[in-house]
Structure 1
């Protein structure tokens, strides 16, 4: 008598299992990093090698991803930031331990302030030295994570090779979950370099989340907006990041609500739309218009220092604030706070807000813009307006632009029409040296369009080394350097505050000759020839530099008659 076998049948393992049981030889912890990144969808990485990170960089040689190496870690962070903004990917930023990692901090702060997805992966000292602070390893920090915890969205630690795929995938998901931001992963050097028998990483799971609005809150918001007599919308960077400009425009037209975009929200609403108040956030005419509204809908902005006209905005009406960053809701003004992705919230409001008819809204917008224009025209700043107009004339409509913290950028925040091209500046954290390396990252993300970077000479000196990067990778970036021999905006601030300046003047290299030393075409231009010279540089493939020696001044930001500075 035979007995039936009721246990599981022994069948050959499927192909993926067979591959997992026989991984290729010669792989290391660094390969696990690269396999995970590739599986998550990364196509390009930025960074700078260092002794402890060599295992990771050796694995990059075997990975199907492009590498763009910059000359300073901070600049590599700015490039990864811009790549993330343009591509929507969480741009990997590969760093070494200690000094290399710490040098990236200012860039990660800007990415955090601007909600740009950056996946920073750093080496660490060997496992044996962790937590001690006494082993004397090169680059050793007693607690490297502590230097980043206050800057990035999340910190992810690895102590064994098997932890690498999960840690990297969780960091990727964190970076791309609204609000986007930089994240930090650190992996000891010996784990990165040691061989591993772990299987190849396949299909890592990382599903970014978009917070949906609570329906009872959007119902209240829709009721307020439907009954408002003078609604107005403030659109911030969250609208741009959520790709919600179309939804915003539809809602503004449905409500006949004027729209002002914050400096970070430039491009969220068409500049020449009849309801567009543009971006004159530093003008009392705009602030007064906002204060007269009975309902203010704030989308994707925390109403921080710049967006509240340095805290002078005192609304008379009710505020509805939509933001994906829970910490920004009602942080500065009491409001009906709705924690949500801008696109999802605007979609719900579009479905529930009744249509309003207010034929007077475009006239009120036009009158406000005319008052602003008259006030600016009365300040004797023709040169500044000519320079900004020349940049707009030269820049192709769809080209992105990146602006350093410099006087021309401060003008651009309020007065520059981005058209179909994205506008980016360092106004999130306000550090110098952002524009040029960020423009390089954007050119890597989209090589089909020329990219413009605008710096003062003070900010340019932070980024000169990256001319070598532009040349090495032949990137389509034109760099406009406005040279006034010093920190121009600080010169104005100090004169206004103290009647004199200290530490604002700089020795002036020949920037055109310096660019030529990197084998990059360069032109020294004038206000009269700027539009022509800049357009020519932008039209030529590869990197170029245009130097404009000129002293520019800032416009007065408020009413002269108010007595405010």
Structure 2
């Protein structure tokens, strides 16, 4: 048989892309196919990868975000060039701020057309340059044979350092080109680890401390069991940021309250050692009210996977470049096997919890009580929030019942409309867990159409609409600052009729006491459902 008669064992770039995604453990992709990406779909139907179709590329990105947080795997999106990519920029920015691993694979116009500005469909002046401003890596695949190496680099970045969004764009003329089948293997991942001398210095400070406290951010949740063991050894209260809530829910050392609160700051200021794991120490967690009241820390040991983050401050007595898992493993070994004498850590934590609760307004306490009712009614629940007043209250004080049981977009980038699609992604990642999305009547309308995506995939999400007839948080802020409210009363649809239109069961609560029964009823339903709490129309929803 001549060479021309031999069957072609090569695959297209699109087919090989799917093979490489599978080799790196990808089980789900989120995307909306278009003319500029159909060749990337050529091998998808025959693979083991599940495709989820949102109603908007913004929904795809937020679904990928929620999926990644709960599954621990990168959220992967396929989007078209131009508007598909610009639509997903907001979720990528949210993922960047919250350190969520996201791989966005987009099309781009044919190589010969790039940079000429000749009015091609979906053309941007410099698409890759635009994405490079917010992606950890942005690469244009000019040479089809480079695909395996580019994918290897992408997954190495996603799994080694501080997570975030990665972007790969494939020109339309490259997608259908055939290349030799690569050796399929997962990308190598290497997480930083501190040297023994640095760990010894940290251990010496830990053992000398009489009143230590530990700050834990979202980047350290995967190491929570070992961090708890270290906290018990040092008898140190554990202060968790929004993205770490629930990591220590059964521990008397847990302080599930914001470092923006005066009482939590007093706990931290009175400590003789502050050990910070995987926390950005950014404004939305540590200085929510922008009062510059977070205390200066004289004996801060800061552990972070990102050297740039360590350099940004606050100033630390000792900065440790390491993953949280590696650092706490080494600190446990270096601090010895036995527990130190108790230094009233649990008492300090309890005092702070009580003082933090007392700082909250009665309205906030009511809202948190409703969130706690959800947690207690549905053990193991994942509560995904949007930027709405009840969620803001929960970020100030709420103990989730499990790790990754509380996250939202009311910190960091703060994108409205995040909650509904992110909750769908969470339900896809963990289909047996109860998932509740708390969203406002205003924010829900940003991504309301994603109810259809939830219905399509049978996502077990209970959409809890907290209806306060507009953007009440902003209206209150305007009034408090002497500004006549304007633009804060967008009309809302009848959410129960919207649910009915999509075939979802729904209930509007007359009294908050009906919540537990409604939650249990919809928990037994296969697929999404909706509950509405009206801040003034539902008795008990506010003071």
Task: Say whether the fold is shared (TM-score over 0.5).
Answer: yes
The residue that corresponds to 1:231 in the other structure is 212
Please state if 1:101 is matched with 2:85: yes
Instruction: Output the CA distance in 2 between the equivalents of 1:480 and 1:179.
Output: 32
Q: State the secondary structure of the residue aligned to 1:401.
A: strand
Equivalent residue number for residue 491 of structure 1: 475
The aligned residue for residue 550 of structure 1 is 535
Higher mean Cα deviation, 279-288 or 354-363? 354-363
1:288 counterpart = 2:257: no
Contact 2:140 2:171 in 1 (8 A): no
Task: Render the CA deviation track for 1:49-90: whole Å, top value 9, x for unaligned.
Answer: 122111112332333311011111011011111212222222
- SS of corresponding position for 2:43: helix
Structure 2 CA distance, aligned partners of 1:530 and 1:357?
Answer: 45
1:266 shift after superposition: 1.2
Alignment of 1:125-144 (within 5 A): 125-132=109-116, 134-144=117-127
Residue aligning to 1:345: 327
Map of 2:101 onto structure 1: 117
- 1:437-466 deviation per Cα after TM superposition (whole angstroms, max 9, x unaligned): 111111112212221111011110011111
Task: Report if the CA contact (8 A) 2:385-2:438 is conserved.
Answer: yes
Question: What residue is the counterpart of 1:561 in the other structure?
Answer: none
| Residue 392 of structure 1, CA deviation | 2.5
The 8 Å contact of residues 36 and 202 in structure 1, kept in 2 or not, is answered as: no
Give the Cα separation in 2 of the matches to 1:191 and 1:83.
Answer: 29
Aligned to 2:24, which of 40, 45, 50?
40
Q: CA deviation at 1:359?
A: 4.0
Which residue does 1:327 correspond to in 2? 308
**Unpaired runs of 5+ in structure 1?**
1-17, 556-565
**Superposition deviation, residue 417 in structure 1:** 2.0
Equivalence for 1:257: 236
> Does 1:306 pair with 2:288?
no
Partner of residue 143, structure 2: 160
Equivalent residue number for residue 524 of structure 2: 539
Distance (whole Å) between structure 2 residues aligned to residue 441 and residue 381 of structure 1: 28
**CA drift at 1:250:** 0.4
Alignment of 1:174-193 (within 5 A): 174-192=157-175
> Contact (CA 8 Å) 1:214, 1:338: kept in 2 or not?
no
| In structure 1, C-alpha distance between the alignment counterparts of 2:167 and 2:104, rounded to whole Å | 5
Q: Deviations over 1:515-536 (max 9, x none)?
A: 1101111111132322221232
What are the residue-to-residue correspondences of 1:434-453 with 2, within 5 Å?
A: 434-453=418-437
Write the distance in 1 (CA, Å) between the matches of 2:185 and 2:372. Answer: 48
Distance in 2 between the 1:30 and 1:120 partners?
14
Residues in 1 aligned to 2:347 and 2:186: alpha-carbon distance in whole angstroms: 52
Q: Check whether the contact 1:91–1:117 (CA below 8 A) recurs between aligned residues.
A: yes
Contact 1:468–1:518 (8 Å) recurs in 2: yes
Judge conservation of contact 2:257–2:353 (CA < 8 Å) in 1: no
The answer for the alignment partner of 1:393 in structure 2 is: 376
- Correspondence 1:218 to 2:202: no
SS at match of 1:307: helix
- Name the residue aligned to 2:225: 246
Inter-CA distance 136–488: structure 2 relative to 1 (3 Å threshold):
same
1:231, CA displacement in angstroms?
0.9
Task: State the Cα deviation string for residues 526-555 of structure 1 (Å, max 9, x = none).
Answer: 323222212322232211111111159999
Secondary structure of the residue aligned to 1:46 is: strand
In structure 2, distance between residues paired with 1:505 and 1:490: 10
Q: 1:195: Cα distance to partner?
A: 4.3
Please, which runs of 5 or more residues in structure 2 have no aligned partner? none
- Shift, 1:274, TM fit: 1.9
Q: Distance in 1 between matches of 2:374 and 2:491?
A: 26
- Please state how far the C-alpha of 1:260 moved relative to its aligned partner: 0.6
Structure 1 CA distance for aligned equivalents of residues 395 and 224 of structure 2: 18
How far apart are residue 261 of structure 1 and its match?
0.5
Whether 1:199 and 2:180 are equivalent positions in the alignment is yes
Secondary structure of the corresponding residue to residue 184 of structure 1: strand
The offset of 1:33, in angstroms, is 1.2
Comparing 203-212 with 477-486, which one deviates more in the overlay?
203-212
Does structure 2 conserve the Cα–Cα contact (< 8 Å) formed by 1:239 and 1:268?
no
Count of residues paired in the alignment: 527
Give SS of 2:214's match.
strand
> What is the root-mean-square deviation in Å for CA atoms of aligned residues?
2.2
Residue 6 of structure 1 corresponds to: none
Instruction: Confirm whether residue 75 of structure 1 aligns to residue 59 of structure 2.
Output: yes
State the match for 2:401 in structure 1.
419
Per the alignment, do residues 232 and 382 of structure 1 end up closer, same or farther by CA in structure 2, a change over 3 Å counting?
A: closer
CA offsets 1:305-327 (integer angstroms, 9 cap, x no match): 03323442113531000011221
Q: Structure 1 residues 205, 273: CA separation in 2 closer, same or farther (over 3 Å shift)?
A: closer
Q: Would the aligned equivalents of 1:401 and 1:421 in 2 still touch at CA under 8 Å?
A: no
Report the secondary structure of 2:242's partner residue.
coil
